[in-house]
Amino acid sequence: MSCSCHSHEKIKSIAILGGGPAASALATLLAREGVRVAILHRPRNAPLLVGESLVPAIIPILRKLGVEDEVRGFAKFKPGAIFNMNEFGDYPFTFKDFCGSLPDYAYNVPRLQFERTLLEAARRAGAKVFETEAKVERVTSTDKVKLSRETLDVVKEFLGGEPDLIADATGRARVLPKLFNIPSREGGRKDTALFAHLDQAEVYKDGYVHSSRLDYGWSWRIPLPGRVSLGIVIPSEHPPKHGTTPEERYDNLLKHDSVLSKATAGSKRITPVVRMLIVGVIGFVVMVACLYIAALSMRRISASSDSTDNVTPLPKKSKSKTKTRHESSGGFMERMEDRWRRRRDEDL
């Protein structure tokens, strides 16, 4: 955020750059407090967007924004998650086993609809949305920023002049950090995400988000109403081996990967494929966060004496060597944590 007023002055107006969930939520809360809020939103062209599977921590925010009922109407109820780790076994867990005071569920959402709902809530609260690309510039010889002349022209009548505050909610576009040359840190990984919607795909538990280890990389499967979002995240050298266009590469990976070919047998892709480069920190953080949440939750599950029918607890150490689907292997936690530490040290 950048403020052109003095800290003791009450902020009366704000320009929020971006129109994603962060921008809309901030706009709603500030508009309710009587702040004049302009959202400068460069509309998205993509038919598909990442960010479809929500976590329980978001539910109190949806309630506060007054949109949970509306979101429930178009979302898929999400009671938990499953991590498929091939030879290491499958690890399903329900949120109710480790969410503490948080709600014990979340939602999988068609993302564009979700964003529209949040933006509409901001409008209802009194924020005004300007569909334009926001441009900012530095105020000479200071550490302050201002809207560029052409952007100010769009909002100044509504805001009554320059905004008291500018908030950057442009996500990966990083408008203000770029202006201030604040570097982003990239790790060693250069993965590619290819994702699309299928008419169906195998899901072991309805509504659960599935994260699966693949022959190379990993994939997500997010059940949405009437479809499944499936994303593949793999080292960038692999997709070109499977075709020229994102569609060819995605379809061939579904056919040739040993996990995905089973999970998507008989399914049909119903959208174009989106390709996204996921450099070190993001890819690594998304993956590690998934694994670490799994590890933490499993620790709690294994520590709890009463399992529920939705949860496969870690087995007590046994001499049995056979493993079946949904059965866990002893020592998994240690191996995953070891691997996680090694990769973290390599990447960061």
Ligand X SMILES: Cc1cc2nc3c(=O)[nH]c(=O)nc-3n(C[C@H](O)[C@H](O)[C@H](O)COP(=O)(O)OP(=O)(O)OC[C@H]3O[C@@H](n4cnc5c(N)ncnc54)[C@H](O)[C@@H]3O)c2cc1C
Q: By CB under 6 A, is residue 59 in contact with ligand X?
A: no
Which residue, 170 or 328, has its beta carbon nearer to ligand X? 170
Q: By CB under 6 A, is residue 148 in contact with ligand X?
A: no
Query: Do residues 25 and 65 touch, judged by C-beta distance below 8 A?
Result: yes
**Binding test (CB under 6 A) with ligand X, winner from 23, 26, 176, 295:** 23
131 exposure class (CB count in 10 Å sphere: 0-12, 13-18, 19+): exposed
Q: By CB under 6 A, is residue 163 in contact with ligand X?
A: no
Cα 57 from Cα 323, distance rounded (Å):
34
Instruction: Provide the 8-state DSSP code for 89.
Output: B
Please provide the DSSP assignment of 319-335 as one string: ------TT-B-TTHHHH
Q: How far is the CB of 170 from ligand X (least distance, A)?
A: 4
Give the interface size with ligand X as a residue count (CB under 6 A): 29
**Binding test (CB under 6 A) with ligand X, winner from 34, 51, 66, 73:** 51
Q: By CB under 6 A, is residue 235 in contact with ligand X?
A: no
Cα 262 from Cα 182, distance rounded (Å):
44
Cα 97 from Cα 204, distance rounded (Å):
19
Angle at 283 between CA 196 and CA 285, to 5 degrees: 125
Task: Give the range of 27-35, 41-49, 72-80, 316-324 binding ligand X by CB under 6 A.
Answer: 41-49
Find the binding residues for ligand X in span 264-283 (CB under 6 A): 276, 278, 282
Q: How far is the CB of 116 from ligand X (least distance, A)?
A: 11
Strands 165-168 and 2-3, sheet pairing: antiparallel
Q: By CB under 6 A, is residue 41 in contact with ligand X?
A: yes
**Binding test (CB under 6 A) with ligand X, winner from 13, 21, 36, 105:** 21
Q: How far is the CB of 93 from ligand X (least distance, A)?
A: 17
Q: By CB under 6 A, is residue 227 in contact with ligand X?
A: no
Which residue, 18 or 92, has its beta carbon nearer to ligand X? 18
Q: By CB under 6 A, is residue 52 in contact with ligand X?
A: yes
Cα 105 from Cα 17, distance rounded (Å):
31
Q: By CB under 6 A, is residue 241 in contact with ligand X?
A: no
Give SS3 for 13.
Answer: strand
88 exposure class (CB count in 10 Å sphere: 0-12, 13-18, 19+): middle
Q: By CB under 6 A, is residue 294 in contact with ligand X?
A: no
Find the binding residues for ligand X in span 117-136 (CB under 6 A): 133-134
The secondary element (H helix, E strand) that includes residue 137 is: strand 136-138
Q: Which residues of 260-271 are buried (b: 16+ CB within 10 A; e: fewer)?
A: beebbeebebee
Which residue, 271 or 329, has its beta carbon nearer to ligand X? 271
Which residue, 89 or 189, has its beta carbon nearer to ligand X? 189
Which two structure tokens, joined as six digits, stand for 348? 């960061």
Residues at the contact surface with ligand X, assessed by CB under 6 A: 17-23, 40-42, 44, 50-54, 133-134, 169-173, 175, 193, 276, 278, 282, 286
